[in-house]
Amino acid sequence: MISKLKADGMAAGTLYLHQARERLERLKISIDQMVDMGRKMARPLLAGGALFTPPTTSWFGNEYGGRAGGFMGLHDANDVPQSDKDVAFLALPDPRCTTTATRKLLEKLAASSAQLFVVGTPAELPKQLHTRIAGFTGGDSVTQGEYRFGEFSPLVGFRAFEQFVRMWMTTGELITECIRAGKMPVIWMSVWLEGAFVRNASFMNHSNTREPWSYPMFHENRYIPPLEPGYASQAFLTALTAVHERLESQLPLLGQAGAWMAAAHRSGHKVHAMAVGHAYPNILEISNPEQYPVRWWPPMSDLNRAVPMKIGQDEVVLHLGYAPVDIVDVQRIVDRGVKFIYTSPYGRPAALKDHPNLLWFDLPWRPTDATVDVPGYSVRILPMSSSAQALAYNAMMAEFAQAMQWSRQ
């Protein structure tokens, strides 16, 4: 680990990415744990069980369901388990602010017949429920991180990042375990690809006898060559490490982003943020958004809607994009005085000109999101956007907090 003496003389974004690198290295050592958990989850599903994601948090269902590279055959989050073959995969909320409704839901799940697998650690769950959990992904606690701003402590944490990465690593091992057993799960094709709507709809179980209509968990008669245990986890980590390295090469830009955010905050201007994905801002678990130093907007790819006219001169917008860049829209935003921090996985178009109000940085996860190739299958698995966005956002927030001289934990 980085010593405190060394950390005290280090730029905050640099320190955050160094600490993230340490976690990526530890995650490599955890691959066997993910393989084991994926195997345990696969057994009941291969025997005919259903997979669902109960709403124990406000972010997990959106991150895990309807995702390019994720399962099409998920059951409704509020399904009632029918047997011990059913599998509930759930994330745990910040234990410091768990609601009565969440506690009651956890108790109902514990009393059900479902097998329960948790994105998190035993320390985040009431002790009386520990024996009902078939597997934990592990990960950082809510206290791991830097800086304090009012009630937000830590302001720059690692828990969300580890939740994303461990969740998708485990899912990759679940998918490949099913493949080794001779069953290929039906995987969403990104709707950003041509033909995706038709392809995805072709798997729907559609009839006029009942609704909602569903998708099967597995393909019929689809052979995929077996993949070695650990293949998916390692491929996902390799891709994420490349994203991390690209961010490290852009530390001056991340520092400039933090400086822009701090200057706006000191001047009483607003700092806006938007991550066009599935988990933000819910993953931040912000109970008092008006007190948070960044104003989060719902995710939108259309920049005309994402940065409306009411955002004006000297306000800062961070847009972690998902779609190709619209040069005209970017020009329109920066020409009216908005400080625009921007990225897209499609890269910067050659025709996008420099501008004093534009700060472009690269966040090169694979366009259309799903990342890991499955030889012999038509689409990739495991979306990367949220994991990559967590790295970029927290590095910039660390620079913001350091520039503001907010208290370190």
Instruction: Identify the burial level of 286 via C-beta atoms within 10 angstroms of its C-beta, where 0-12 means exposed, 13-18 middle and 19 or more buried.
Output: middle
Tens-place pLDDT, residues 193-210:
999 999 999 999 999 998
Domain ranges of the chain: 4-232, 247-369+377-404
What is the predicted pLDDT for the residue at 339? 98
| DSSP annotation string for 338-376 | -EEEEE-TT---TT----TTEEE----PPTTSEEE--TT
Tens-place pLDDT, residues 303-321:
999 999 999 999 999 999 9
| Cis peptide bond prior to 154, omega within 30° of 0 | yes
- Distance between terminal CA atoms of the chain? 16
Return the SS3 of 299: coil
Please, which pLDDT band fits residue 6 given cuts at 50, 70 and 90? low
Which CATH class, in words, describes the domain spanning 247-369+377-404?
Answer: alpha beta
Question: Residue 138 has which token pair?
Answer: 């592990």
Average pLDDT (125-141) is 94
What is the predicted pLDDT for the residue at 247? 98
Average pLDDT (31-40) is 98
CA distance linking residue 205 with residue 57, whole number of Å: 28
CATH of region 4-232, choose from 1.20.910.10, 3.40.50.880, 1.10.510.10, 3.40.50.10490: 3.40.50.10490
Tens-place pLDDT, residues 209-229:
988 899 999 999 999 999 999
Q: Is the pLDDT of residue 4 over 80?
A: no
CA distance linking residue 393 with residue 395, whole number of Å: 6
- Which residue in this structure is represented by tokens 């709403």? 55
Sequence-separated (6 or more) residues with CB below 8 Å from residue 79: 50, 52, 86
Return the SS3 of 25: helix
What are the distances in angstroms from CA 262 to CA 11, 27, 248, 334?
15, 33, 21, 18
Common-topology check for domains 4-232 and 247-369+377-404: yes
Predicted model pTM: 0.95
| Cβ atoms 86, 118 nearer than 8 A | no
Q: Is the pLDDT of residue 45 over 70?
A: yes
Please, which pLDDT band fits residue 2 given cuts at 50, 70 and 90? low
Return the SS3 of 397: helix
Please, which pLDDT band fits residue 60 given cuts at 50, 70 and 90? very high
Q: Is the pLDDT of residue 371 over 70?
A: yes
| DSSP annotation string for 112-133 | SSSEEEEES-GGGS-GGGGGGE
CA distance linking residue 130 with residue 124, whole number of Å: 10
Amino acid (1-letter code) at residue 111: A
CA distance linking residue 135 with residue 112, whole number of Å: 16
Average pLDDT (46-69) is 96
Question: Residue 196 has which token pair?
Answer: 């995706």
Question: Residue 88 has which token pair?
Answer: 């509930």
DSSP label at residue 185 = B
CA distance linking residue 69 with residue 395, whole number of Å: 26
Q: What are phi and psi of 316, to 5 degrees?
A: -110, 135
CA distance linking residue 188 with residue 65, whole number of Å: 10
Please, which pLDDT band fits residue 5 given cuts at 50, 70 and 90? very low
The mean predicted confidence, pLDDT, of the chain is 95
Helix boundaries (H) for 138-294? 159-180, 196-201, 231-248, 251-266
CA distance linking residue 50 with residue 81, whole number of Å: 8
Q: Is the pLDDT of residue 122 over 60?
A: yes
CA distance linking residue 163 with residue 386, whole number of Å: 10
| Cβ atoms 135, 40 nearer than 8 A | yes
Angle between helix axes 231-248 and 12-29 (nearest 10 degrees) is 170
User: Considering just the CA atoms, what is the radius of gyration of the chain in Å?
Assistant: 21
What is the predicted pLDDT for the residue at 284? 94
